[in-house]
């Protein structure tokens, strides 16, 4: 009984971090995954983490335990949000392309998030998920949350990192970097469609009898889809670079809120 009294609070802290991670992490947080599966999977991962690094640990069972719960939830949410932020780069790039190509008026409901998403963005996001699964990215996410206890144990103190502003600096820098990545991903198509607009402007000045508005809608859709088809083989390399940035950002986050393990 004494062992249970010491082990159950430690296990619940581990369960809080892993559950909060799966709430926002890509793939695992999608609406297509049943809630019962998420809870059961979180429980199994928490058992594995407890058996590997939680045995023998003790926590104070007083008011400070509430702070430990909040800390574990914050760590899990930060890790999951960092991964989700990098995956959102694909949809942001697609939204920028849709604005130029004219598809922004025909947004669809993304079944994975339940939110309205652009057509090209949703298409690229689906391709990104397939590439992510093909490279076992979901396994790397599990590695990240499991090895996070080596960087940030349950007895750590993440609130000092919030107080000195290091976590806020990391989030601002990561958000800015993700937006830059989305601009770089959308740049070829956006630039080509901008040149198409310039050409249509010259056409409107030289041949006013043409209905440039009607021609422009069809021409921009054709140009956008043809360029998307031509650039499709390079998307895999872009996604590989993006996912490498994702895991690097998660490692930077762990280094920000914790300490690199010895060895």
Q: What is the pLDDT of residues 27-80, one digit of tens each?
A: 887 777 788 888 888 889 888 888 887 676 777 777 778 888 888 888 888 888
> Would you say residue 148 lies in a domain?
yes
Q: Give CA–CA dist 70/68, Å, rounded.
A: 5
Residue 109 sits at φ, ψ, to 5 deg, of -85, 120
For residue 173, give the nearest of 240, 248, 244, 72 by alpha carbon. 248
d(CA 125, CA 138): 15
How far is the CA of 176 from the CAs of 180, 187, 225, in angstroms?
6, 16, 28
Distance of CA 74 to the CA centre of its chain: 16
Q: Check pLDDT > 80 for residue 214.
A: no
The closest of 71, 61, 52 to 4, measured between CA atoms, is: 61
**In-domain check, residue 69:** yes
**Structural domain total, the chain:** 1
How many Å apart are CA 73 and CA 71, to the nearest integer? Answer: 5
CB 101 within 8 A of CB 21: no
pLDDT in tens, 110-139: 555 555 666 777 777 788 888 888 888 888
Buried/exposed 108-130: b ≥16 CB within 10 Å, e otherwise = eebebbeeebbbbbbbbbeebbe
Strands (E), 41-190: 108-109, 116-117
- Residue 263 counted as domain residue: no
Domain containing residue 28:
2-257
pLDDT at 1: 61
Residue 48 corresponds to which tokens in the numbers above? 């594995």
Nearest to 11 by CA among 39, 60, 61, 49: 49
**Closest to 24 in 3D by CA, of 90, 101, 89, 113:** 113
Indicate whether 262 belongs to any domain: no
Contact 154, 68 (CB under 8 A): yes
Residue 57's Cβ-side half-sphere holds a number of Cα atoms within 13 Å equal to 20
Model confidence band, residue 143 (pLDDT cutoffs 50, 70, 90): confident
Q: Is the pLDDT of residue 248 over 80?
A: yes
**229 pLDDT above the threshold of 60:** yes
């Amino acid at each position: 009984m004494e062992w249970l009294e010491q082990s159950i609070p430690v296990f619940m802290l581990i369960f809080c971090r892993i559950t909060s991670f799966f709430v926002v992490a890509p793939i695992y947080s999608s609406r297509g995954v049943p809630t019962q599966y998420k809870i059961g999977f979180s429980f199994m991962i928490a058992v594995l983490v407890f058996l590997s690094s939680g045995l023998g640990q003790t926590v104070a069972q007083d008011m400070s335990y509430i702070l430990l719960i909040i800390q574990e939830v914050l760590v899990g949410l930060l890790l999951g949000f960092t991964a989700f932020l990098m995956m959102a780069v694909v949809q942001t790039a697609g939204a920028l392309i849709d604005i130029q190509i004219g598809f922004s008026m025909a947004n669809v409901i993304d079944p994975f998030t339940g939110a309205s998403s652009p057509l090209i963005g949703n298409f690229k996001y689906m391709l990104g998920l397939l590439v992510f699964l093909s490279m076992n990215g979901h396994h790397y996410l599990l590695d990240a949350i499991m090895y996070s206890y080596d960087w940030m144990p349950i007895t750590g103190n993440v609130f000092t990192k919030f107080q000195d502003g290091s976590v806020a600096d990391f989030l601002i820098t990561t958000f800015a970097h993700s937006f830059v990545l989305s601009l770089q991903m959308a740049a070829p198509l956006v630039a080509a469609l901008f040149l198409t607009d310039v050409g249509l402007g010259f056409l409107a000045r030289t041949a006013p009898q043409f209905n440039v508005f009607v021609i422009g809608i069809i021409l921009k859709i054709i140009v956008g889809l043809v360029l998307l088809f031509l650039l499709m083989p390079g998307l895999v390399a872009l996604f590989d670079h993006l996912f490498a940035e994702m895991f690097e950002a998660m490692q930077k986050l762990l280094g920000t809120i914790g300490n690199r393990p010895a060895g």
